[in-house]
Amino acid sequence: MNLPATRNVERVVIATRRSRLAMWQAEHVKHRLRALYPGLEAELLPLSTRGDELLEARLDSAGGKGLFVKELEAAMADGRADLAVHSMKDVPMELPEGFVLAAITAREDARDAFVSNRHASLAELPEGAVVGTASLRRAAQIAERRPDLRVRTLRGNLDTRLAKLDRGEYDAVVLAAAGLRRLGLAARIRTLLEPAQSLPAAGQGALGIECRSADRALRELLAPLGDAASEACVRAERAVNRALGGNCSVPLGAYAELQGPRLRLRALLASPDGRRIARAECTGAAAEPERLGEQAAQALREQGAAEILALLSAPK
């Protein structure tokens, strides 16, 4: 892949998905850049991605998280864009050669949110109620706690998901709290699910800014947008996923919290029906987040992760 070389940065084009939430996130980064560098010109390049177009299929069966970033990376590769803004939970564990995460921003609320027009919490849902989610991770944890509920796939952008709830197609939906807060929809949250109830996805709540690895001047420009504490947590979480070969077909959660100079990391791996779940909790130096993530992955293996992974990879 031929990538443009380093240059002086006077103007940047930010690639983004077209959804309202993605546009908010890109605008947020644009405003932060303008605040840091008043003379910098910044504009958005909204793009449609394959992940946005496949509204009926589960991501795990359609190609995984890369469906949300490939078109943005193509725009950077051919020079139409200089950087891209992603929700970190949507970023594949391995980036293509020639690209790098230049910054991981300060994290919003990483928790999952229970949203319903008629019920106050997951525990109050009646037997047989229909719960919507696009996440195998969320579905597995719901099924473990409430096997009497019907968990159905819910795709589409945030507004589309809420509209389906409001039309009565679902009794409740589970969404990322961060997205609701960013769009001023926090009032829709009936209950926040604590990590002990629904362990978040690796990177949930944080934004990642991707650019070409060869563009050193841009990387230096973007570095101040990063948050060291959030980056350490997200790196530890992603290391769990990477060590287990995690992707959208693996119901895997990972959540790290900074506690002084150390990180507390919780992780789980589940079968989609929630009947088998391996859990691990580790602490380690915040300066070595990947090492802690690998430690947590090993602890999951000792709790039966290999058997769960074998079930997931077995022919359907």
Question: For 294-309, what is each residue's pLDDT tens digit?
Answer: 999 999 999 999 999 9
CATH number of 112-193: 3.40.190.10
In the predicted structure, residue 5 carries a pLDDT above the cut 70: no
Kindly name the residue from 52, 60, 82, 90 that is annotated as catalytic. 90
Q: Report whether pLDDT(64) > 70.
A: no
Kindly report, residue by residue over 187-210, the tens digit of the pLDDT: 999 999 999 999 999 999 999 999
Confidence of residue 50 (pLDDT cuts 50, 70, 90): low
Is 166 annotated as catalytic? no
What is the per-residue pLDDT across 240-284, written as a single tens digit (0 to 9) for each?
999 998 666 789 999 999 999 999 999 999 998 999 999 999 999
What are the pLDDT digits (tens) for 149-187? 999 999 899 999 999 999 999 999 999 999 999 999 999
For residue 18, name the pLDDT band (cuts at 50, 70, 90).
very high
Q: Which residue has the tokens 């391995």?
A: 94
Instruction: Burial-class residue 206 by CB neighbours within 10 Å (0-12, 13-18, 19+).
Output: buried
- Distance of alpha carbon 283 from alpha carbon 3, whole angstroms: 40
Instruction: Give alpha helix (H) positions in 183-268.
Output: 216-222, 228-243
pTM for this model (two decimals): 0.90
CATH of 234-310, one of 1.10.1660.10, 3.30.160.40, 3.60.20.10, 1.10.3720.10: 3.30.160.40
Domain borders along the chain are 11-105+205-226, 112-193, 234-310
Q: In which band, very low, low, confident or very high, does the pLDDT at 52 lie, cut at 50, 70 and 90?
A: low
